[in-house]
Amino acid sequence: MAKSISIEVWNPSGKYRVVSTKPMPGTRWIRLLTDQDCRVEICTEKKTILSVEDILALIGDKCDGVIGQLTEDWGEVLFSALRRAGGTAFSNMAVGYNNVNVNAANKYGIAVGNTPGVLTETTAELAASLSLAAARRIVEADQFMRAGLYDGWLPHLFVGNLLKGQTLGVIGAGRIGSAYARMMIEGFKMNLIYYDLYQATRLEKFVTAYGQFLKANDEQPVTWKRAATMEDVLREGDVISLHPVLDKTTYHLINKERLSIMKKEAVLVNASRGPVIDETALVEHLRKNPMFRVGLDVFEDEPFMKPGLAEQKNAVVVPHIASASKWTREGMTTIAALNVLGKIKGYPVWTDPNRIEIFLDENFQPPPASPSIVNAKELGKKDSSGFVPEASAGANIKRKSPRFTFFNAVKGAFLV
Protein backbone atom coordinates (compact mmCIF):
# COMPACT_ATOMS: atom_id res chain seq x y z
CA MET A 1 0.00 0.00 0.00
CA ALA A 2 1.19 3.53 -0.80
CA LYS A 3 0.09 4.76 2.63
CA SER A 4 0.51 2.88 5.89
CA ILE A 5 -2.86 1.99 7.45
CA SER A 6 -3.25 -0.09 10.63
CA ILE A 7 -5.47 -3.13 10.18
CA GLU A 8 -6.66 -6.26 11.98
CA VAL A 9 -6.68 -9.42 9.84
CA TRP A 10 -8.98 -12.44 10.08
CA ASN A 11 -8.37 -15.62 8.05
CA PRO A 12 -5.12 -14.43 6.41
CA SER A 13 -5.11 -17.22 3.81
CA GLY A 14 -8.63 -16.51 2.55
CA LYS A 15 -9.20 -16.45 -1.20
CA TYR A 16 -11.29 -13.25 -1.28
CA ARG A 17 -10.12 -10.01 0.29
CA VAL A 18 -12.86 -8.00 2.03
CA VAL A 19 -12.07 -4.70 3.74
CA SER A 20 -14.08 -3.01 6.49
CA THR A 21 -13.26 0.66 6.92
CA LYS A 22 -14.22 0.53 10.61
CA PRO A 23 -14.39 -2.03 13.42
CA MET A 24 -18.07 -3.02 13.64
CA PRO A 25 -20.27 -4.49 16.39
CA GLY A 26 -20.47 -8.24 16.84
CA THR A 27 -18.42 -11.06 15.36
CA ARG A 28 -21.03 -12.95 13.34
CA TRP A 29 -20.38 -10.79 10.28
CA ILE A 30 -16.69 -11.76 10.40
CA ARG A 31 -17.52 -15.44 10.75
CA LEU A 32 -19.97 -15.36 7.84
CA LEU A 33 -17.21 -14.00 5.61
CA THR A 34 -14.33 -16.16 6.82
CA ASP A 35 -16.47 -19.31 6.57
CA GLN A 36 -16.79 -18.54 2.87
CA ASP A 37 -13.02 -18.26 2.31
CA CYS A 38 -12.75 -14.50 2.76
CA ARG A 39 -9.75 -12.75 4.23
CA VAL A 40 -11.22 -9.93 6.34
CA GLU A 41 -9.19 -6.79 6.98
CA ILE A 42 -10.57 -4.27 9.49
CA CYS A 43 -9.15 -0.76 9.60
CA THR A 44 -8.11 0.12 13.15
CA GLU A 45 -7.02 3.70 12.56
CA LYS A 46 -8.06 6.04 15.40
CA LYS A 47 -9.68 8.51 13.00
CA THR A 48 -13.45 8.98 13.28
CA ILE A 49 -13.82 9.69 9.56
CA LEU A 50 -11.46 8.19 6.97
CA SER A 51 -10.38 10.33 4.04
CA VAL A 52 -10.57 9.20 0.43
CA GLU A 53 -6.79 8.76 0.54
CA ASP A 54 -7.08 6.50 3.59
CA ILE A 55 -9.64 4.30 1.85
CA LEU A 56 -7.56 4.15 -1.33
CA ALA A 57 -4.71 2.78 0.76
CA LEU A 58 -7.04 0.19 2.29
CA ILE A 59 -8.29 -0.94 -1.12
CA GLY A 60 -4.75 -1.40 -2.43
CA ASP A 61 -3.99 -3.47 -5.51
CA LYS A 62 -6.28 -6.41 -4.81
CA CYS A 63 -9.67 -6.11 -3.12
CA ASP A 64 -12.91 -7.99 -3.80
CA GLY A 65 -15.27 -5.92 -1.68
CA VAL A 66 -15.56 -3.16 0.91
CA ILE A 67 -17.90 -2.52 3.84
CA GLY A 68 -17.99 1.24 4.42
CA GLN A 69 -19.67 3.88 6.53
CA LEU A 70 -22.09 6.72 5.79
CA THR A 71 -19.45 9.30 6.78
CA GLU A 72 -17.29 8.36 3.77
CA ASP A 73 -17.32 9.90 0.30
CA TRP A 74 -17.90 7.02 -2.09
CA GLY A 75 -17.73 8.39 -5.59
CA GLU A 76 -15.77 8.19 -8.84
CA VAL A 77 -12.33 8.01 -7.21
CA LEU A 78 -13.07 5.15 -4.83
CA PHE A 79 -15.25 3.08 -7.15
CA SER A 80 -12.72 3.28 -9.98
CA ALA A 81 -9.96 2.22 -7.57
CA LEU A 82 -12.04 -0.65 -6.26
CA ARG A 83 -12.71 -1.84 -9.80
CA ARG A 84 -9.01 -1.66 -10.72
CA ALA A 85 -8.31 -3.82 -7.67
CA GLY A 86 -10.75 -6.43 -8.98
CA GLY A 87 -13.58 -5.47 -6.66
CA THR A 88 -17.27 -5.79 -7.47
CA ALA A 89 -19.04 -5.01 -4.20
CA PHE A 90 -19.51 -2.19 -1.72
CA SER A 91 -22.01 -1.98 1.13
CA ASN A 92 -22.83 0.91 3.41
CA MET A 93 -23.41 -0.09 7.01
CA ALA A 94 -26.50 2.12 6.88
CA VAL A 95 -29.95 2.17 5.32
CA GLY A 96 -29.26 5.56 3.73
CA TYR A 97 -26.70 6.07 1.01
CA ASN A 98 -26.56 9.83 0.46
CA ASN A 99 -22.76 9.48 0.70
CA VAL A 100 -22.68 7.15 -2.31
CA ASN A 101 -22.60 8.18 -5.97
CA VAL A 102 -24.62 5.27 -7.30
CA ASN A 103 -24.11 6.39 -10.91
CA ALA A 104 -20.35 6.11 -10.43
CA ALA A 105 -20.82 2.64 -8.95
CA ASN A 106 -22.92 1.65 -11.96
CA LYS A 107 -20.24 2.95 -14.31
CA TYR A 108 -17.67 0.62 -12.79
CA GLY A 109 -20.02 -2.32 -12.27
CA ILE A 110 -19.92 -2.14 -8.46
CA ALA A 111 -22.92 -3.44 -6.52
CA VAL A 112 -24.01 -1.02 -3.78
CA GLY A 113 -25.59 -2.54 -0.68
CA ASN A 114 -27.44 -0.98 2.22
CA THR A 115 -29.02 -2.30 5.42
CA PRO A 116 -32.80 -1.76 5.56
CA GLY A 117 -35.27 -3.78 7.57
CA VAL A 118 -33.37 -3.68 10.87
CA LEU A 119 -33.58 0.00 11.83
CA THR A 120 -37.32 0.69 11.95
CA GLU A 121 -38.19 0.10 15.60
CA THR A 122 -34.84 1.28 16.92
CA THR A 123 -35.03 4.59 15.07
CA ALA A 124 -38.65 5.07 16.09
CA GLU A 125 -37.72 4.44 19.73
CA LEU A 126 -35.02 7.11 19.58
CA ALA A 127 -37.45 9.61 18.05
CA ALA A 128 -39.91 8.81 20.85
CA SER A 129 -37.12 9.27 23.42
CA LEU A 130 -36.24 12.68 21.99
CA SER A 131 -39.91 13.66 22.03
CA LEU A 132 -40.26 12.84 25.71
CA ALA A 133 -36.89 14.31 26.68
CA ALA A 134 -37.68 17.61 24.97
CA ALA A 135 -41.29 17.84 26.14
CA ARG A 136 -40.43 17.15 29.79
CA ARG A 137 -37.10 19.04 29.78
CA ILE A 138 -35.21 15.99 31.01
CA VAL A 139 -31.75 17.07 29.82
CA GLU A 140 -32.09 20.53 31.36
CA ALA A 141 -33.16 18.98 34.67
CA ASP A 142 -30.30 16.46 34.57
CA GLN A 143 -27.72 19.21 34.05
CA PHE A 144 -29.33 21.24 36.86
CA MET A 145 -28.95 18.33 39.27
CA ARG A 146 -25.36 17.57 38.28
CA ALA A 147 -24.44 21.22 38.81
CA GLY A 148 -25.61 20.95 42.43
CA LEU A 149 -28.29 23.61 41.98
CA TYR A 150 -31.25 21.67 43.41
CA ASP A 151 -32.07 22.87 46.91
CA GLY A 152 -35.72 21.85 47.14
CA TRP A 153 -38.98 21.33 45.28
CA LEU A 154 -40.57 24.36 43.62
CA PRO A 155 -43.97 24.63 41.88
CA HIS A 156 -42.50 26.05 38.67
CA LEU A 157 -39.26 24.03 38.46
CA PHE A 158 -38.78 22.60 34.93
CA VAL A 159 -42.43 22.61 34.00
CA GLY A 160 -42.83 20.95 30.61
CA ASN A 161 -45.55 19.69 28.29
CA LEU A 162 -48.06 16.91 28.98
CA LEU A 163 -48.31 14.54 26.02
CA LYS A 164 -51.57 12.74 26.82
CA GLY A 165 -54.40 13.96 24.65
CA GLN A 166 -52.18 16.29 22.64
CA THR A 167 -51.79 16.25 18.85
CA LEU A 168 -48.95 14.26 17.33
CA GLY A 169 -47.79 15.45 13.93
CA VAL A 170 -45.89 13.08 11.65
CA ILE A 171 -44.35 14.22 8.37
CA GLY A 172 -43.49 11.10 6.41
CA ALA A 173 -45.57 8.09 7.49
CA GLY A 174 -43.43 5.32 6.06
CA ARG A 175 -42.06 2.42 8.09
CA ILE A 176 -40.23 4.49 10.70
CA GLY A 177 -42.78 7.32 10.83
CA SER A 178 -45.62 4.86 11.33
CA ALA A 179 -43.75 2.87 13.98
CA TYR A 180 -43.02 6.11 15.85
CA ALA A 181 -46.67 7.18 15.60
CA ARG A 182 -47.89 3.85 17.02
CA MET A 183 -45.52 4.16 19.98
CA MET A 184 -46.62 7.71 20.80
CA ILE A 185 -50.33 7.08 20.26
CA GLU A 186 -50.51 3.89 22.28
CA GLY A 187 -48.03 5.10 24.89
CA PHE A 188 -49.45 8.57 25.50
CA LYS A 189 -52.94 8.45 23.95
CA MET A 190 -52.12 11.22 21.50
CA ASN A 191 -54.24 12.15 18.49
CA LEU A 192 -52.60 11.92 15.07
CA ILE A 193 -52.30 14.26 12.14
CA TYR A 194 -49.94 13.13 9.42
CA TYR A 195 -48.76 14.23 6.00
CA ASP A 196 -47.50 11.83 3.37
CA LEU A 197 -47.80 11.59 -0.39
CA TYR A 198 -49.23 8.11 0.12
CA GLN A 199 -52.06 7.10 2.41
CA ALA A 200 -50.87 5.25 5.52
CA THR A 201 -53.73 2.77 5.58
CA ARG A 202 -52.26 0.40 8.17
CA LEU A 203 -51.51 3.28 10.52
CA GLU A 204 -55.01 4.67 10.12
CA LYS A 205 -56.51 1.27 10.92
CA PHE A 206 -54.31 0.96 13.99
CA VAL A 207 -55.40 4.34 15.37
CA THR A 208 -59.06 3.58 14.62
CA ALA A 209 -58.88 0.22 16.39
CA TYR A 210 -57.06 1.69 19.37
CA GLY A 211 -59.61 4.47 19.59
CA GLN A 212 -62.40 1.89 19.66
CA PHE A 213 -60.58 -0.02 22.41
CA LEU A 214 -60.28 3.13 24.54
CA LYS A 215 -63.93 4.02 23.99
CA ALA A 216 -65.02 0.51 25.00
CA ASN A 217 -63.12 1.03 28.25
CA ASP A 218 -64.75 4.40 28.95
CA GLU A 219 -61.68 6.40 27.96
CA GLN A 220 -61.42 9.25 25.48
CA PRO A 221 -60.76 7.69 22.06
CA VAL A 222 -57.79 8.79 19.98
CA THR A 223 -58.34 10.14 16.46
CA TRP A 224 -56.39 10.46 13.22
CA LYS A 225 -56.42 12.83 10.29
CA ARG A 226 -54.47 12.81 7.04
CA ALA A 227 -53.48 16.42 6.35
CA ALA A 228 -53.92 17.97 2.93
CA THR A 229 -50.69 19.95 3.34
CA MET A 230 -47.59 19.79 5.47
CA GLU A 231 -48.45 23.25 6.81
CA ASP A 232 -51.60 21.80 8.39
CA VAL A 233 -49.42 19.42 10.43
CA LEU A 234 -47.10 22.22 11.49
CA ARG A 235 -49.98 24.44 12.62
CA GLU A 236 -51.87 21.75 14.55
CA GLY A 237 -49.14 19.53 15.99
CA ASP A 238 -48.00 19.77 19.60
CA VAL A 239 -45.21 17.30 18.94
CA ILE A 240 -44.01 17.02 15.33
CA SER A 241 -41.57 14.37 14.11
CA LEU A 242 -39.88 14.43 10.71
CA HIS A 243 -39.47 11.19 8.75
CA PRO A 244 -39.07 12.12 5.07
CA VAL A 245 -36.40 10.95 2.66
CA LEU A 246 -33.73 13.53 1.84
CA ASP A 247 -33.81 14.80 -1.73
CA LYS A 248 -34.07 18.12 -3.53
CA THR A 249 -37.72 18.51 -2.51
CA THR A 250 -37.09 17.97 1.21
CA TYR A 251 -33.88 19.99 1.61
CA HIS A 252 -34.65 22.70 4.22
CA LEU A 253 -38.20 21.41 4.42
CA ILE A 254 -38.37 23.13 7.79
CA ASN A 255 -37.28 26.72 7.22
CA LYS A 256 -37.86 30.12 8.83
CA GLU A 257 -41.33 30.50 7.33
CA ARG A 258 -42.55 27.07 8.38
CA LEU A 259 -41.09 27.38 11.86
CA SER A 260 -43.07 30.60 12.26
CA ILE A 261 -46.43 28.85 11.81
CA MET A 262 -45.78 26.25 14.51
CA LYS A 263 -47.16 26.55 18.03
CA LYS A 264 -44.99 28.55 20.42
CA GLU A 265 -44.67 25.57 22.78
CA ALA A 266 -44.39 22.86 20.11
CA VAL A 267 -41.75 20.12 20.15
CA LEU A 268 -39.93 19.38 16.88
CA VAL A 269 -38.05 16.09 16.45
CA ASN A 270 -35.69 15.04 13.66
CA ALA A 271 -34.14 11.57 13.46
CA SER A 272 -34.21 11.39 9.65
CA ARG A 273 -31.59 13.52 7.85
CA GLY A 274 -30.01 16.75 9.05
CA PRO A 275 -30.48 18.95 5.95
CA VAL A 276 -34.26 18.52 6.21
CA ILE A 277 -34.05 21.43 8.69
CA ASP A 278 -32.51 24.84 8.01
CA GLU A 279 -30.40 24.69 11.14
CA THR A 280 -29.46 28.39 11.14
CA ALA A 281 -33.14 29.33 11.04
CA LEU A 282 -33.83 26.81 13.81
CA VAL A 283 -31.20 28.34 16.10
CA GLU A 284 -32.76 31.76 15.65
CA HIS A 285 -36.23 30.36 16.31
CA LEU A 286 -35.06 28.66 19.52
CA ARG A 287 -33.52 31.92 20.75
CA LYS A 288 -36.70 33.90 20.16
CA ASN A 289 -39.06 31.21 21.47
CA PRO A 290 -37.69 29.72 24.71
CA MET A 291 -40.73 27.44 25.20
CA PHE A 292 -40.30 25.91 21.74
CA ARG A 293 -38.24 22.74 22.01
CA VAL A 294 -36.38 20.49 19.63
CA GLY A 295 -34.87 17.00 19.74
CA LEU A 296 -32.19 16.31 17.13
CA ASP A 297 -30.31 13.13 16.25
CA VAL A 298 -28.99 14.47 12.93
CA PHE A 299 -27.47 17.75 11.81
CA GLU A 300 -27.15 19.76 8.64
CA ASP A 301 -23.33 19.70 8.51
CA GLU A 302 -22.49 16.56 10.48
CA PRO A 303 -20.50 16.11 12.58
CA PHE A 304 -20.78 19.85 13.27
CA MET A 305 -23.66 21.89 14.65
CA LYS A 306 -24.50 25.36 13.41
CA PRO A 307 -23.16 28.15 15.64
CA GLY A 308 -25.36 28.76 18.64
CA LEU A 309 -27.24 25.46 18.68
CA ALA A 310 -25.20 23.90 21.48
CA GLU A 311 -25.98 26.87 23.72
CA GLN A 312 -29.74 26.55 23.43
CA LYS A 313 -31.17 24.95 26.57
CA ASN A 314 -34.39 24.17 24.69
CA ALA A 315 -32.52 21.83 22.33
CA VAL A 316 -31.84 18.15 23.05
CA VAL A 317 -28.99 16.98 20.81
CA VAL A 318 -27.52 13.48 20.43
CA PRO A 319 -24.81 12.24 18.03
CA HIS A 320 -26.69 10.29 15.33
CA ILE A 321 -27.52 7.29 17.53
CA ALA A 322 -30.96 6.36 16.19
CA SER A 323 -29.76 2.91 15.12
CA ALA A 324 -27.55 2.42 18.18
CA SER A 325 -29.15 -0.60 19.80
CA LYS A 326 -27.05 -3.76 20.05
CA TRP A 327 -29.48 -5.91 18.04
CA THR A 328 -29.81 -3.35 15.27
CA ARG A 329 -26.14 -2.49 14.88
CA GLU A 330 -25.15 -6.17 14.81
CA GLY A 331 -27.92 -6.81 12.31
CA MET A 332 -26.63 -3.99 10.12
CA THR A 333 -23.14 -5.48 10.09
CA THR A 334 -24.56 -8.89 9.15
CA ILE A 335 -26.58 -7.49 6.25
CA ALA A 336 -23.66 -5.39 5.01
CA ALA A 337 -21.31 -8.39 5.08
CA LEU A 338 -23.80 -10.61 3.27
CA ASN A 339 -24.36 -7.93 0.62
CA VAL A 340 -20.66 -8.00 -0.21
CA LEU A 341 -20.37 -11.79 0.08
CA GLY A 342 -23.36 -12.34 -2.17
CA LYS A 343 -21.87 -10.29 -4.99
CA ILE A 344 -18.45 -11.91 -4.65
CA LYS A 345 -20.02 -15.36 -4.79
CA GLY A 346 -22.41 -14.51 -7.61
CA TYR A 347 -25.54 -15.02 -5.52
CA PRO A 348 -28.88 -13.51 -6.59
CA VAL A 349 -30.47 -10.53 -4.82
CA TRP A 350 -33.22 -10.85 -2.24
CA THR A 351 -36.14 -8.90 -3.65
CA ASP A 352 -37.81 -7.83 -0.40
CA PRO A 353 -35.08 -6.11 1.63
CA ASN A 354 -37.59 -4.99 4.24
CA ARG A 355 -38.21 -8.61 5.23
CA ILE A 356 -34.78 -9.91 6.03
CA GLU A 357 -35.39 -11.73 9.32
CA ILE A 358 -34.04 -14.97 7.89
CA PHE A 359 -30.60 -13.41 7.47
CA LEU A 360 -30.49 -12.37 11.13
CA ASP A 361 -31.36 -15.62 12.88
CA GLU A 362 -28.08 -16.92 14.28
CA ASN A 363 -29.53 -20.42 14.65
CA PHE A 364 -29.75 -20.86 10.89
CA GLN A 365 -27.39 -20.48 7.96
CA PRO A 366 -28.52 -17.46 5.90
CA PRO A 367 -29.74 -18.15 2.36
CA PRO A 368 -27.30 -17.67 -0.52
CA ALA A 369 -28.40 -14.18 -1.51
CA SER A 370 -27.45 -10.51 -1.17
CA PRO A 371 -30.10 -9.08 1.20
CA SER A 372 -30.22 -5.55 -0.29
CA ILE A 373 -28.49 -4.20 -3.40
CA VAL A 374 -29.84 -0.76 -4.32
CA ASN A 375 -28.54 -0.79 -7.90
CA ALA A 376 -29.35 -4.42 -8.70
CA LYS A 377 -31.60 -3.53 -11.65
CA GLU A 378 -29.03 -1.20 -13.12
CA LEU A 379 -26.38 -3.90 -12.93
CA GLY A 380 -28.76 -6.48 -14.38
CA LYS A 381 -28.37 -8.85 -11.48
CA LYS A 382 -30.64 -11.87 -11.26
CA ASP A 383 -33.25 -11.44 -8.50
CA SER A 384 -34.53 -14.06 -6.09
CA SER A 385 -38.07 -14.00 -4.75
CA GLY A 386 -38.78 -13.34 -1.10
CA PHE A 387 -41.92 -15.45 -1.36
CA VAL A 388 -42.84 -18.98 -2.34
CA PRO A 389 -43.40 -19.26 -6.12
CA GLU A 390 -46.75 -20.75 -7.08
CA ALA A 391 -45.07 -23.69 -8.78
CA SER A 392 -42.68 -24.45 -5.92
CA ALA A 393 -42.94 -27.47 -3.66
CA GLY A 394 -44.03 -25.32 -0.72
CA ALA A 395 -46.76 -23.40 -2.54
CA ASN A 396 -49.67 -25.39 -1.14
CA ILE A 397 -48.51 -25.33 2.48
CA LYS A 398 -50.14 -22.92 4.95
CA ARG A 399 -47.74 -20.22 6.07
CA LYS A 400 -47.93 -20.53 9.82
CA SER A 401 -44.61 -18.84 10.57
CA PRO A 402 -42.39 -16.29 8.80
CA ARG A 403 -39.38 -18.59 9.07
CA PHE A 404 -41.20 -21.44 7.34
CA THR A 405 -42.30 -19.10 4.57
CA PHE A 406 -38.78 -17.81 4.02
CA PHE A 407 -37.21 -21.25 3.92
CA ASN A 408 -39.73 -22.41 1.36
CA ALA A 409 -39.03 -19.21 -0.56
CA VAL A 410 -35.36 -20.09 -0.69
CA LYS A 411 -36.18 -23.62 -1.77
CA GLY A 412 -38.40 -22.34 -4.54
CA ALA A 413 -35.90 -19.75 -5.70
CA PHE A 414 -32.64 -21.67 -5.59
CA LEU A 415 -33.24 -25.39 -5.84
CA VAL A 416 -35.35 -25.55 -8.97
Q: How many helices (H) and strands (E) does the chain have?
A: 15, 15
Q: Could you say which of 28, 252, 320, 378 is catalytic? A: 320
pLDDT at 411 exceeding the cut of 80: no
pLDDT at 407 exceeding the cut of 50: no
- What pLDDT sits at residue 341? 98
Is-catalytic flag, 273? yes
Residue 48, Cβ density class (10 Å: 0-12 exposed, 13-18 middle, ≥19 buried): exposed
- Of residues 51 and 399, which shows the higher confidence score? 51
Confidence of residue 1 (pLDDT cuts 50, 70, 90): very low
Confidence of residue 57 (pLDDT cuts 50, 70, 90): very high
- What pLDDT sits at residue 2? 58
Q: Could you say which of 273, 285, 329, 355 is catalytic? A: 273
Question: pLDDT tens digit string along 271-289?
Answer: 999 999 999 999 999 999 9
Which residues, 6 or more positions from 258, have their beta carbon under 8 angstroms from its beta carbon?
Answer: 230, 231, 234
Mean pLDDT, range 53-61, rounded to an integer = 97
**What is the reported pTM?**
0.84
For residue 96, give the nearest of 240, 197, 247 by alpha carbon. 247
Question: pLDDT tens digit string along 310-334?
Answer: 999 999 999 999 999 999 999 999 9
Q: What percent of the chain has pLDDT over 90?
A: 86
Please state, rounded to an integer, the average pLDDT across all residues of the chain: 91
* DSSP secondary structure, 346-404, as one string: T--EES-TT--HHHH-TTSPPPSSBS-BTTHHHHTPPEE-SS--TTSTTTTS---SHHH
Confidence of residue 257 (pLDDT cuts 50, 70, 90): very high
Range in 7-16, 160-169, 361-370 the model is least confident about: 361-370
Instruction: Please say whether the beta carbons of 88 and 63 come within 8 A.
Output: no
Question: pLDDT tens digit string along 61-98?
Answer: 999 999 999 999 999 999 999 999 999 999 999 988 98
d(CA 161, CA 157): 13
Mean pLDDT, range 19-47, rounded to an integer = 97
Is-catalytic flag, 302? yes
Mean pLDDT, range 90-110, rounded to an integer = 95
Mean pLDDT, range 260-277, rounded to an integer = 97
Confidence of residue 149 (pLDDT cuts 50, 70, 90): very high
Q: Could you say which of 186, 231, 284, 302 is catalytic? A: 302
- What pLDDT sits at residue 354? 75
Range in 210-214, 223-227, 232-236, 353-357 the model is least confident about: 353-357
- Of residues 1 and 105, which shows the higher confidence score? 105
Determine the longest span between alpha carbons in the chain, in angstroms. Answer: 74
Mean pLDDT, range 112-116, rounded to an integer = 95
pLDDT at 126 exceeding the cut of 60: yes
- What pLDDT sits at residue 355? 83
